[in-house]
């Protein structure tokens, strides 16, 4: 607006790029409200929206039909499946979602099939599918999202008159959230920015947390180098958070080597110290948070101005259960409550069939999930047969043939196999035998869903510990009740639950960051990837800077994972925070430490059970230090007396068995 009001440039001479349609609409609304101009000719939008506009205007030069259609992600996947079927390609060996990711990742890198180097038979076949897919899209007059940007980039690259036309037009290019740009988006911008173009990029490299979506963290450093004639303006004064919160954020992110560097400060004062709570268990952690939330609410802080942040969606289940039990209204931001999640509903449907095979709703949900080649037409015929004979779909399936009969046999086999199993083992077996686990393991984006399924096993373990009726029927009723109630309606004051990724761009009076343990936050998968630990640290930085006035950090010594109690070390991120801004909280005498720490829990890990019989003077869950391997936690024992060995999970050295007679462990 400053450019337009000052008469420095025509509104049509500005290209403004945002990352969401919502942000683009808000920008246009504000411009319309504040300036007496017609905004219809302005180019303001997302990368894909602006690329689409360019291609619509120059469809002939781009080699597209005038009315070309855009494929969303699901449409693209369907097109790939159709293509692979026509090419007689085994969809188990070449999983369609993996093919989709292969195509999109290469396009985002600016590559066509001819540019991709194949190094074995498998990758050669992938390139062939890529090439055939592009040909199919061209033939059908369609373009997927990544094609929009790549096609418009290629159009500008090879058409010099057109490129110069837009360079002459757009004297000012403004880009928001620059740290989230991928390789192709940056190239696209550089191509449009001519010698006389003022390119203004706003971004925070410390908040680059979308590498899994293709964001290139190097783009900001490259921008500073390639546009060396430009000015770098560091916006370091913070108007959101108190000083202690900013000190913690600054100190943490300074551990990252690959950053441009800035130091946030505020004129609002230091504020309260950051509270750190070390819980005995995830249940103790959840109970502590509920008590603190209630106390803050009594002080007059709205529930909607408080947020519970977690690294993984699966962590929400324990928190939701505690909130539900304490009658604290909550809302899962940007997602579904635990028992409403798709993968959980699939697993529950299988469980419902075990206890009541006449449940047509459960049958319909999973008869072809994971896919078994049972199509809509087959189900129509089965439904017609069931209706005609007054039978359930299950009864009709038992008298059918082919793949439908195979499904009925699968369910019956699961029922027989789980007849004498404890409830957590029943659920674990169903998840594996049904094919749900393998389905999500094969999906690169299925990690969260697989973690949620594992958390369902934990939910069952907790349920049998608390409930009077420990049957599958009772657990299903419990799941239905927790799914059907208590998430606050729109407009009601409610606590906000969300992943750290979902919290980006938001702010709250009070923030609770939960699960600060090694392998959880930082996440074990990301921490083991190249540059993964730095991205995890940026994610923690984002989490910390969501808080305006109060920040709580919590970790648990033990946590239910895969139906067993596991012991974890506090996150290294806690060690990276300055002690002077932290206020450790004492464990409460009322916490249920024996049950949650594993000594008497009915589903404790085998190491915890052995505590009762070991004569070493150590115990499972105890923090120890070793001269060579550093600090760790005891997770198991074997042997007695001089032959005793202890298994320790070290923070930096991994898990090791040590002979106690020679280990010289010291208790921390």
pLDDT at 610: 39
In a domain, 98, yes or no: yes
Closest CA to 306 of 290, 287, 282, 326: 290
Average pLDDT over residues 81-101: 90
Residues 429 and 412 in one domain: yes
Which DSSP helix (H) or strand (E) runs through 658?
Answer: strand 654-659
Strand order across the beta sheet in which 630-638 lies: 654-659, 645-650, 630-638, 623-626, 666-667
Residues 450 and 353 in one domain: yes
355 part of a folded domain: yes
Helix (H) or strand (E) holding 286: helix 282-298
| 262-307 pLDDT tens trace | 999 999 899 999 999 999 999 999 999 999 999 999 999 999 999 9
- Secondary structure E strands in 562-599: 564-567, 582-585
Average confidence score pLDDT of the chain: 85
Residues 6+ apart with CB under 8 A from 667: 618, 622, 623, 624
- Asked whether residue 540 falls in the same domain as residue 398, the answer is no
Instruction: Using alpha carbons only, give the angle 525, 528, 534 rounded to the nearest 5 degrees.
Output: 100
pLDDT at 228: 63
- What are phi and psi for residue 227, nearest 5 degrees? -115, 55
- Predicted local distance difference test score (pLDDT) of residue 656: 83
- List the CATH number of the domain containing 115: 1.10.10.160
Residues 6 or more apart whose Cβ sits within 8 Å of residue 19: 46, 47, 176, 177, 180
CA distance 327 to 321: 10
Among 194-198, 573-577, 599-603, 619-623, the range scoring the smallest mean pLDDT is: 599-603
Query: In the chain, how many domains are there?
Result: 5
Which residues, 6 or more positions from 159, have their beta carbon under 8 angstroms from its beta carbon?
Answer: 61
The pLDDT value given to residue 131: 95
pLDDT at position 4 is 59
- Quote the pLDDT of residue 531: 81
Region label for 273, one of left (φ > 0), alpha (ψ between -120 and 50) or beta (otherwise): beta
Q: What is the rounded CA–CA span in Å between residue 345 and residue 361? A: 11
Q: Is 307 domain-assigned?
A: yes
88 and 9: one domain? no
190: exposed, middle or buried (Cβ count in 10 Å: 0-12, 13-18, 19+):
middle
Give the CATH number, domain containing residue 619: 2.40.10
**Token match 């090419």: residue?**
87
User: Are 597 and 280 within 8 A, CB to CB?
Assistant: yes
Q: Are residues 620 and 531 in the same domain?
A: no
pLDDT score, position 84: 92
CATH number, position 530: 3.40.50.300
Q: Which uninterrupted H or E stretch holds 577? A: none
- The token pair at 567 is 């012991």
Q: How far apart are alpha carbons 350 and 74 in whole angstroms?
A: 25
Evaluated on CA atoms 317, 321, 324, 326, the torsion sign reads negative
- The pLDDT assigned to 75 comes to 83
The answer to whether residue 597 scores a pLDDT higher than 80 is no
The tokens for 479 are 């799941």
8 Å CB contact between 274 and 581? yes
Are 346 and 365 in contact by the 8 Å Cβ rule? The answer is: yes
| Mean pLDDT, residues 231-254 | 92
Looking at the structure, tell me whether residues 296 and 353 fall in a common domain.
no
- DSSP 8-state secondary structure symbol assigned to residue 313: G
Helix (H) / strand (E) containing 251: helix 243-253
DSSP-derived secondary structure for 210-227:
-GGGT--TTHHHHHHHHT
Q: Which of 324-328, 395-399, 563-567 has the lowest mean pLDDT?
A: 563-567
**119 found inside a domain:** yes
Task: Give which of 219, 304, 201, 236 is closest to 545, Cα–Cα.
Answer: 236
Q: Are residues 292 and 364 in the same domain?
A: no
Angle at 625 between CA 624 and CA 631, to 5 degrees: 90
- C-alpha 502/C-alpha 309 separation (Å) is 9
Residue matched to tokens 């408080």: 306
pLDDT value for 602: 30
| 493 and 475 housed in the same domain | no
**pLDDT score recorded for residue 600:** 27
| CA neighbor of 541 nearest in space, from 277, 291, 207 | 207
- Tell how strand 43-46 and strand 14-18 pair up: parallel
Task: Report pLDDT for 599.
Answer: 24
Of 30-39, 462-471, 629-638, least confident by mean pLDDT is 30-39
Do the beta carbons of residue 567 and residue 242 sit within 8 Å? Answer: no
Token pair for 16? 């403004």
Please check whether residue 492 lies inside any domain of the structure. Answer: yes
Task: Indicate whether 162 and 301 sit together in one domain.
Answer: no
The predicted model gives 96-114 an average pLDDT of 93
Residues 191 and 202 in one domain: yes
- Average pLDDT (135-162) is 92
The CA distance from 470 to 465, in Å, is: 8
- Residue 126: CA atoms inside 13 Å, Cβ hemisphere, count? 24
Averaged pLDDT for residues 149-158? 95
pLDDT at 619 over 60: yes
Q: Would residue 659 count as lying in a domain?
A: yes
* Interval 394-448: pLDDT, tens: 888 888 888 888 999 999 999 999 988 989 899 999 999 999 999 988 887 788 8
pLDDT beyond 70 at 588: no
For residue 351, what pLDDT is reported? 92
Q: Which of 309, 285, 276, 320 is nearest to 557 (CA)?
A: 285
**138 DSSP 8-state letter:** H
Clarify whether residues 399 and 456 are in a common domain.
yes
**Is pLDDT larger for residue 116 or for residue 623?**
116
> CA-CA distance, 143 to 65, in Å (whole number)?
11
Q: What is the mean pLDDT of residues 442-456?
A: 84
pTM: 0.71
How many beta carbons lie within 10 A of that of residue 409, not counting itself?
A: 12
Q: What pLDDT, in 10s, does the model give residues 13-23? A: 888 898 777 77
559 vs 325, 455, 572, CA distance in Å?
Answer: 19, 11, 17
Indicate the burial class of 656 (C-beta count within 10 angstroms; 0-12, 13-18, 19 or more): middle
CATH code (residue 475): 1.10.486.10
In whole angstroms, what is the distance from residue 610 CA to residue 631 CA? Answer: 22
Least confident of 461-470, 628-637, 646-655: 461-470
In this structure, is residue 586 part of a structural domain?
no
Asked which of 226, 261, 289 is the last residue of a domain, the reply is 226
| 2 vs 174: CA distance, rounded Å | 13
Range of the domain at 373: 340-480
Residues 500 and 528 in one domain: yes
What was the pLDDT predicted at 530?
65
End residue of a domain, out of 480, 505, 532: 480
Of 363, 359, 365, the C-alpha closest to 345 is: 365
Question: What are the pLDDT digits (tens) for 504-540?
Answer: 989 999 999 999 998 899 988 776 676 888 999 999 9
According to the model, what pLDDT value does residue 24 have? 76
Where is pLDDT greater, at 304 or 614?
A: 304
Q: What is the pLDDT of residue 39?
A: 62
Please tell me the predicted confidence (pLDDT) of residue 199.
87
How many Å apart are CA 194 and CA 101, to the nearest integer? 33
Q: Could you say which of 140, 174, 190 is where a domain stops?
A: 140
pLDDT given at position 128: 95
The conformation of residue 201, written as its DSSP 8-state character, comes to E
Instruction: Give the percent of the chain with pLDDT over 90.
Output: 38
For residue 247, tell me if it sits in a domain: no
């Amino acid at each position: 607006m400053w450019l337009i009001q000052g008469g420095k440039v025509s509104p049509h001479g500005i290209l403004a790029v945002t990352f969401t349609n919502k942000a683009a609409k808000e920008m246009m609304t504000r411009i319309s409200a504040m300036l007496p101009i017609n905004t219809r000719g302005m180019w303001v939008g997302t990368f894909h929206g602006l690329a689409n506009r360019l291609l619509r205007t120059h469809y002939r030069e781009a080699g597209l039909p005038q009315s070309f259609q855009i494929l969303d992600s699901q449409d693209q996947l369907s097109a790939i499946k159709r293509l692979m079927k026509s090419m007689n390609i085994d969809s188990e060996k070449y999983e369609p979602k993996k093919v989709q990711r292969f195509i999109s990742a290469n396009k985002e890198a600016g590559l066509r099939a001819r540019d991709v180097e194949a190094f074995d038979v498998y990758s050669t076949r992938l390139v062939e599918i890529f090439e055939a897919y592009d040909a199919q899209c061209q033939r059908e007059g369609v373009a997927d999202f990544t094609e929009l940007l790549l096609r418009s980039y290629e159009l500008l690259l090879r058409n010099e008159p057109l490129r110069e036309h837009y360079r002459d037009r757009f004297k000012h290019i403004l880009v928001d959230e620059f740290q989230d740009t991928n390789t192709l988006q940056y190239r696209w911008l550089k191509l449009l920015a001519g010698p006389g173009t003022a390119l203004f990029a706003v971004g925070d490299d410390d908040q680059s947390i979308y590498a899994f979506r293709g964001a290139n963290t190097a783009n900001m450093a490259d921008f500073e180098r390639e546009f060396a004639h430009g000015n770098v303006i560091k916006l370091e004064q913070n108007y959101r958070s108190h000083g202690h919160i900013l000190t913690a954020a600054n100190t943490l992110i300074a551990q990252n080597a690959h950053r441009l560097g800035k130091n946030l400060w505020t004129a609002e004062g230091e504020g309260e110290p950051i509270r750190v709570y070390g819980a005995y268990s995830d249940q103790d952690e959840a109970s502590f948070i509920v008590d603190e939330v209630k106390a803050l609410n009594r002080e007059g802080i709205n529930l909607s101005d408080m947020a519970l942040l977690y690294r993984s969606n699966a962590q929400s289940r324990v928190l939701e259960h505690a909130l539900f039990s304490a009658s604290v209204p909550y809302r899962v931001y940007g997602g579904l409550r635990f028992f409403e999640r798709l993968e959980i509903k699939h697993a529950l449907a299988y469980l419902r069939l075990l206890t009541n095979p006449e449940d047509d709703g459960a049958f319909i949900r999973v008869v072809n999930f994971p896919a078994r080649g049972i199509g809509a037409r087959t189900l129509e015929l089965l439904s017609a047969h069931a209706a005609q004979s007054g039978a359930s779909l299950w009864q009709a399936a038992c008298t059918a043939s082919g793949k439908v009969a195979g499904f009925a046999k699968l369910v019956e086999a699961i029922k027989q196999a789980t007849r004498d199993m404890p409830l957590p083992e029943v659920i674990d077996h169903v998840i594996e035998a049904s094919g749900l686990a393998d389905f999500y393991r094969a999906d690169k984006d299925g990690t969260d869903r697989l973690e949620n399924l594992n958390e369902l096993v934990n939910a069952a373990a907790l349920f049998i510990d608390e409930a009077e009726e420990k049957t599958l029927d009772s657990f299903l009723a419990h799941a239905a009740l927790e799914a059907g109630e208590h998430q606050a309606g729109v407009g009601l004051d409610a606590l906000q639950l969300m992943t750290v990724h979902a919290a980006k761009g938001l702010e709250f009076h009070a923030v609770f960051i939960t699960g600060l343990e090694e392998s959880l936050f930082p996440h074990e998968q990301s921490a083991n990837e190249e540059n993964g630990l730095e991205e995890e640290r940026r994610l923690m930085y984002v989490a910390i800077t969501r808080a305006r006035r109060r920040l709580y950090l919590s970790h648990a010594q033990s946590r239910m994972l895969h139906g067993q109690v596991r012991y974890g070390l506090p996150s290294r991120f806690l060690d990276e925070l300055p002690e002077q801004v932290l206020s450790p909280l004492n464990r409460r005498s009322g916490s249920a430490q024996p049950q949650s720490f594993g000594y008497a829990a009915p589903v404790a890990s085998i190491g915890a059970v052995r505590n009762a019989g070991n004569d070493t003077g150590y115990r499972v869950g105890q923090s120890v230090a070793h001269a060579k391997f550093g600090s760790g936690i005891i997770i198991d024992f074997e042997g007695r007396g001089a032959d005793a060995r202890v298994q320790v999970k070290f923070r930096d050295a991994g898990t090791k068995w040590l002979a106690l007679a020679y280990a010289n462990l010291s208790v921390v």
